[in-house]
Structure 1
Amino acid sequence: MCQESERRALLQLKQGLMDESNVLASWGSKKDCCEWRGIACNNQTGHVITLNLSYNSSDDYIDAEASLRGEIDPSLLELRYLNYLDLSFNDFGGIMIPKFIGSLTRLKELKLVEANFSGPVPPQLGNLSNLHTLDLEGNDVSFESLEWLSHLSSLRYLNISDIDLSGNRNWPQSFSKLTSVIELQLSYCDLGINLRSLSSINSSASFQVLDLSSNSLNSSIFYWISNVSSSNLVHIGLSYNDLQGPIPDVFTNMASLKFLDLSRNQQKGGIPKFFQSLCSLESLYLERNQFSQNIKDSVKILSCAGSTLKNLDLSRNRFWGSLWLDLKSFTKVKFFSLSQNLLNGSLPESMGQISSLEALDLSWNSLNGVITEAHFLNLPRLQSLDVSHNPTLSINLSSYWNPPFQLEYLNMSFCKVGPAFPRWIQTQRNLTKLRINNAGILDSLPEKFLDQFSGLEDLDLSLNKIHGKLPNFSTSLLMYVNLSSNQFSGALPSFPPTIKYLILSENLLSGPLSSLCAREAPNFRCLDLSVNLISRELPNCWMQFPKLIVLNLGKNKFSGKLPSSLGNLQKLRILRLHGNNFSGELPSFENCTELVAVDLGANKLSGKIPTWIGQNQTWLSVLRLRSNEFNGIIPSSLCSLSSIHLLDLSQNNLSGALPHCISNITASSDESRNYGYDDNGFIQIAWEGEEWKEVEMVWKGVEIEFGKNLVHLRSIDISSNHLVGDIPENITSMLKLNSLNLSRNNLTGKVPEKFGNLTMLESLDLSRNQISGRIPSSFSSLNFLSVLDLSYNHLSGRIPLSTQLQSFNASAYIGNSGLCGPPLTQQCPGDGTTQNPGVTTGTENDNDGLISLGFFISAVLGFVTGFWIICGSLLLKRSWRHAYFRLLDDTRDWVYVKTAVYKAKMQRRLQR
C-alpha cells in the first residue's frame, strides 16, 4: 500500500484541479492510492513513482471535457520518489510551468505536451540531472535561455516542437552542446529567423534523430547537421523549409542514415551521386521540390539501398523519361510514388514483380500503353493503387480476373477504363476509396453494387456515361459520393447517416426530394443535385443538417415557396437554387452569417429584396437575383456588401433611384479574401481537388460561367428594371469595377464627368435609358474597355477621341441623335474640309516623308498579324494584357493621327 503522506499529497493535488468529468473519481474512493487512476507505485516500498494524468493516456477518456483544468499544487513535492510525470493534453489555462517541478530530482520522464502552459520555461528544470525525457511540445512557452538544457546530463529525448524559438538566435550553439541527447525534435519552432551560415559551429552532440521540419531554414542548415555527429545520424527531417538549389555534399559520411525527408522545399538538380553511399536508407521523401533528372539515373543512384529501401516518394517534381526501370534490386519497397512528374512511356511488367509493394502511385504523368493482369502477377500485398490522370493509359483487365491483392484505395480516373464497368473491382472487399471518374465508362453499375463493399467511404464515378438506377446508399458507410455528369435516372434514394458530401449533379434524376427527410445526417457538408429533373416543393427539414456548407439545387423543376427551415443552415456558404420555378417571398437567412455565394436567379420569387441582406453577411461575394419578380426599391443595406464581387439584380421589377451609397459596393473588395475557400482551398474541406460549381453571369453581353476566377472580377448588373433618377456621381470611386450594366431602365441626367476613373472597366452598358448631355472626355482613359453600349439615350456632342471609343461599331452609339464624330458618319459642326494655305497647284509633295498608301496598308496588315500572334499570351496573362494595351494606346493614337493626315491629303488631291 502507498505511503500515507503521499496519499494525502495526492488528495491535496486533486483539490487544486477542476475535474468536470470526474475522471479522478477513484482518488479517495479506495484507501490504497496505488490503485488510483494514473498512479503506479514501487512494489517493494509502496512509494508513488508514476503520475500519469495525461488526457491521452492508455485509459482513454470519453471526450475533450475529460481534460483536467486548474493549478498544480506544491503538494506534488511530497512525491519524492516520483520518476515519471505526465500532464499532457490537459488545459491549465495558460499558467506557467511550476518552478517547483525542478525539485523533483528523481524524475526521469517529464511530459507536458499541449497542456496549455505559457510564459517562460523555468530554468530550474535544469536541476533534473536524472531526466532522460523532456517533452514540452505545443505549449505557448518561451525560453529566456537554452543554456540550462546542457545541464541535463542524462537527457536522451528532447521535444520542444511548436514552441517559438525565434528569439533565441544562439540556438545552433546551444543545441550543439547537448552531448547526451539522441533524439531532438524541433519542428515548427521558427528557427530560420535571421539564420546565418552555420558551417563554423563546433559540435559535441551525438544526435541520432533530428527533426527540423517547418522552420523556414535555408540551405546552410546542411552544414550544421554535418557537424552534429553525422556518422551517428539515422533520421533527418527537413521538410517544409526554404532549402534551395542542389543537395550539397554533406551526406557522404552518413552511412547509417535510414530516414531522410527533404519534401516541400525548393531543391533543384537531381538525386546526387554521393547518395550511392547511403546504403542503409529505408525512407526517402523528396516530394514537392523542383528536382529534374532522368528517372533511370535516379533509380540507379539509389540501387545501393535496394535491399533496405521501404518508402520512396519522388512525387511533384520534374523527373522525366521512360518508366522502363531496373527494379530487381528493390526487394523491400512498400510505398513507391512518382506522381505528378514528366514520365512517359508504358508501364513495365517488371513493376509487378516487387512482391513487397503495398502502395503504388503513378498518377498525373504522361504514361501510355496498356495495363494488363501481367502487371500485377506478384503483388499480393498491394493495398493502394493510383494510376489516375494518365489520359492515354488504357486499363485492360478482364472482368473475370481474380487479382492476387485486396485493395483499400483504387484510383483510375482520367484513364481509358471503359466502355464496360470493370467487374473485377467487386472482388475487392476491403475498398474504402474508389475513384474512376472520367474513364469512358458507358455501362450500368453491377446489381447490388454497394453491397460488396461494407467499408467503402469514398466513391467517385463522375464524368462518365453510366446509366440506370442509383445504387442503394442507405445501408452503406459512405461519406463522400460523386456520381455527377452521368445518366442515372429515377428517384433519389435515401442516403446513409454517415454522408458528408453528395454530388449527383448533371444526371436525369426525377421525382420529389422527399427521401431527404428520411434520416438525419449531422455531418452533411455538401449537397449538389443541380441540373436534373427533380420536381415539386422542397421539404421543410433542413434543420436536420446543421453543418451543411454547400447546397446546390439549381436547374431542376422545383416549385412552390422556399421552406423557412433553410434559414437554420447557419454554416451555409454556397446557396444555389437558380433555374427553377420557386415563387413567393424569400425566407430569412439573417442567421446564415457565413454565406459567400447566393444564386437564386431565374425563378419566380417576388416581394421586396429583404433588408437583412448585407446586415450580417459580411463575407458575401456573389448575390444573383436575376430574372425574378422582385419589386420595390433597392435597399440601402446592400451598400454594406463591401466584399461583393458579383451583384446581379437584373430583369426584375425594381423601381426608385440607385442608392447613393452604391459606391461602397466592391469599392473596398479585397482580392486577398479567400472567396469561400478555407485555408486548404474551399471545398477541400469537402474533398481533394474539387471546387464549388460555377456561377452563371452575363459578361460582355454573353451568359457564361465563372468558377474561382470570380475572385478577380467585380461586376454590377441592374439592367432591365424600372430605375429612375441620375447615376450617382460617387459611382466613379468604384475603382476595381470590371463590368457595369444599367441598361433598359429610365435613368436620366448626365453621365458622371469622372467616369474615366474606372480604369479597370472592361464592359459598360448604359443603353436604352434617358441619359442626356455629352460623353465625358474622361472616357478616353478607359483603355481596357472591350464592350460598350450607349445606344438609345439622349446623348449629344462629339464622341471623345481615344484608342477604344473609335474602335467600337457605330451601333454602340446609335439612337443618340445629337452624337457626332467617328465612328458615326454624322460629322460634328465645324468638321468641314480645310484647304492648307501652303498648298500650290500641281503635284503635292508628301512632306511627312513616311505616309503613303502602301505604308498605310502595310501598317494595318502588320498590326493585325502581330495582334493574332500574341493574343493567346494576352488572354492568358493579365499583366501582359495590361502592358500591351498601354502600348497599344500610343500605337493606335499614332496610326489615327497619321491616317487623318493621309485622308486630308487624299481629299485635297481629289478636290484638285
Structure 2
Amino acid sequence: MLISHEICWILLLLLLQCGSLAVAILNPIDFLALQSVRKALDDMPGSNYLSSWDFTSDPCNFAGLYCDGDKVVTLNLGDPRAGSPGLIGRIDPAIGDLSGLAELTIVPGRIIGELPSSMSKLTNLRFLGISRNFISGQIPESLGQLKELRTLDLSYNQLTGKIPATIGALPALSNVILCHNHLSGSVPKFSSKTLTRLDLKRNDLSGPLSSDSLPESIQYLSLSWNRLEGPVDKLLTGLPILNYIDLSLNRFTGYIPPIIFTFPITTLQLQRNQFTGPVKPASQVTISTVDLSFNRLYGEIPALFSTVQNLYLNNNRFTGQVPGSFVDGILTANIQVLYLQHNYLTGIEIKPAAEIPVSSSLCLQYNCMVPPVQTPCPLKSGKEKTRPTTQCIEWRG
C-alpha cells in the first residue's frame, strides 16, 4: 500500500495524542507495513510467535524484529527454534514498504501464495530465506533489482517456471539455494565473483551448461535430479576450488575430466548420466566415495582408484582384469564398497577361500567371468552371475 508522507505523519500525531508514545519510535510507513504483514499471517497450532505482536507497544520489541533507528532492518517471521511450528498465511505485498530491511526469513511452515513483486523495492536486502513452505508461482524477475543480495534461499517450495536471468546477474550473490522446487528451463549464467554455493537439485532444469556458466569462486555445486545435458569437462576445468559436487541423475555426456579427481572433496557423485570414454585419473585418487555407476564408461579400471574407500563402477562397459591392488584393499578392509557388477570384466585374482571382512562389500555379478567368490550383492543387481557369452564376444569384437 502506498501512503503519502503527510498521511503517515498525521497518523503518527494521532498515536502520540492517544498516549502511545512507544509507537512513535518506528517510522510510520514501517508501522503500517507491519500491521498488513501481521494481518496476512497466523500461528500454526502449537506456535505463539505472533502473540508478542501487540501494536499498542513498540514494534521494535516484537519477536523476530530488529530496528536501526526508526527503520526495521531484520524480520525473522516465526520461531527459529528447531522443531517449533511455523506460520500459516501469505506474504503481504506491504512487506515491500520496509525499505530498510536487510534480512528477511520465514521459518518452515505453511506459507502459501506467490512471492510479491513488491519485494523488489527492498534494495538494502542482503539475506532472503523462505525455505520449506508452500510458496508457488514463479520467481519474480524484479528480484534482480536487489543488488545487495548475498543469500537467496527459496528451497523446498513449489516454485515453477524459469530461474530469471536477472537473478544470475546479481553482483553480490554468495549462496543460491533453490533445490526441491519445480523449476524448469536452463541454468542461467551466474556472474557474481563471490558465489560459493549453488544448489539446484531436484528440479526440472534442462539444456546444456556453457563453460562460463559459473564463476571460479564456486565451492559447492549440486545439480542432481534434473535433465541437464551436454559435456561438462570445460566447465569443471574452470572450477578449481570445488569441495562438493553432485551432478548425478542428469543426462551429461562426454568425457570425465581428469582434474575432477584432484578436487578437495570427500564424495564425487556422477552416477546415472551418459558419460562415456575411458576414465584416466592423473594421480592416486584420495576421494573417500566415488560413484560413476550407470554411465557408458569403458576401458580398463584404473589402479589409481584402489585408494577409494567406497567405489561404485557398476553398470558401465569396463573391460579387462580387476587390478590386484583392489583385491588387497578389499581383504584389508581399506575398501569398504567395491561395486563392479554389470560390466564386461574378464577376471579378478582372488583365492576362492579368501575371507572378505564383514565391513566390506564386493559385487562382481554379470560380467564376462564366473565370480570366484560368493559375496552378497544389492538386490537390484539381479540374480544372473555372468553375462551371456554372446554379449561378451560381441563387446570384444
Asked if these proteins are the same fold (TM beyond 0.5), I'd say yes
Q: Is the 8 A contact 1:634 1:658 kept in 2?
A: no
Shift of 1:424: 4.1
Shift of 1:402: 3.9
Aligned in 2, Cα 1:586/1:656: closer, same or farther, shift over 3 Å?
Answer: closer
**1:487 lines up with 2:200 in the alignment:** no
**1:561 lines up with 2:278 in the alignment:** yes
Deviations 1:9-65 (A, max 9, x none): xxxxxxxxxxxxxxxxxxxxxxxxxxxxxxxxxxxxxxxxxxxxxxxxxxxxxxxxx
Q: Is the 8 A contact 1:614 1:641 kept in 2?
A: no
* Aligned counterpart, 2:385: 721
Aligned in 2, Cα 1:578/1:648: closer, same or farther, shift over 3 Å?
Answer: same
Q: Is the 8 A contact 2:96 2:120 kept in 1?
A: no
Deviations 1:89-118 (A, max 9, x none): xxxxxxxxxxxxxxxxxxxxxxxxxxxxxx
Distance 1:423 1:417 in 2: 16
**1:370 lines up with 2:90 in the alignment:** yes
Distance 1:626 1:402 in 2: 53
Distance 2:115 2:260 in 1: 44
Select the residue among 306, 320, 344 that pairs with 1:607: 320
Shift of 1:547: 0.6
Q: Is the 8 A contact 1:431 1:455 kept in 2?
A: yes
The AA in structure 1 aligned to 2:180 is L
* Aligned counterpart, 2:76: 360
Select the residue among 321, 326, 331 that pairs with 2:52: 326
Where in structure 2 are the equivalents of 1:297-336 lying within 5 Å?
Answer: 320-328=46-54, 329=57, 332-333=60-61, 336=64
Shift of 1:472: 1.4
Where in structure 2 are the equivalents of 1:133-152 lying within 5 Å?
Answer: none
Shift of 1:582: 0.9
Aligned in 2, Cα 1:524/1:397: closer, same or farther, shift over 3 Å?
Answer: closer
SS in 2 for 1:589: helix
Deviations 1:194-248 (A, max 9, x none): xxxxxxxxxxxxxxxxxxxxxxxxxxxxxxxxxxxxxxxxxxxxxxxxxxxxxxx
Aligned in 2, Cα 1:542/1:404: closer, same or farther, shift over 3 Å?
Answer: closer
Select the residue among 579, 595, 598 that pairs with 2:311: 598
Deviates more, 1:574-583 or 1:366-375: 366-375
Distance 2:350 2:382 in 1: 13
Count the aligned residue pairs: 332
Please report the RMSD computed on the Cα atoms of aligned residues, expressed in angstroms.
3.6
Q: Is the 8 A contact 1:559 1:582 kept in 2?
A: yes
Q: Is the 8 A contact 2:111 2:134 kept in 1?
A: yes
Shift of 1:385: 2.4
Larger Rg: 1
* Aligned counterpart, 2:140: 422
Distance 2:349 2:111 in 1: 55
Greater relative CO (CA pairs within 8 A, separation 6+) = 2
Q: Is the 8 A contact 1:383 1:408 kept in 2?
A: yes
Shift of 1:648: 2.8
Shift of 1:412: 1.6
Q: Is the 8 A contact 1:368 1:393 kept in 2?
A: yes
* Aligned counterpart, 1:504: 223
Aligned in 2, Cα 1:722/1:393: closer, same or farther, shift over 3 Å?
Answer: closer
TM-score (normalised: structure 1): 0.33
SS in 2 for 1:606: strand
Shift of 1:510: 1.7
Aligned in 2, Cα 1:496/1:722: closer, same or farther, shift over 3 Å?
Answer: same
Specify every segment of 5 or more residues in structure 2 that has no aligned partner in the other structure, as ranges: 1-24, 26-44, 389-397
Specify every segment of 5 or more residues in structure 1 that has no aligned partner in the other structure, as ranges: 1-306, 308-318, 338-350, 666-696, 704-716, 724-743, 745-912
Aligned-residue sequence identity (percent) comes to 21
Q: Is the 8 A contact 2:204 2:227 kept in 1?
A: yes
SS in 1 for 2:164: coil
Shift of 1:600: 1.4
Where in structure 2 are the equivalents of 1:374-389 lying within 5 Å?
Answer: 374-375=94-95, 377=97, 379-389=98-108
Q: Is the 8 A contact 1:478 1:498 kept in 2?
A: yes
Aligned in 2, Cα 1:440/1:635: closer, same or farther, shift over 3 Å?
Answer: same
Q: Is the 8 A contact 2:49 2:63 kept in 1?
A: no
Aligned in 2, Cα 1:656/1:478: closer, same or farther, shift over 3 Å?
Answer: closer
* Aligned counterpart, 1:445: 163
Q: Is the 8 A contact 1:436 1:461 kept in 2?
A: yes
Shift of 1:425: 2.5
The AA in structure 1 aligned to 2:155 is N
Distance 1:564 1:405 in 2: 47
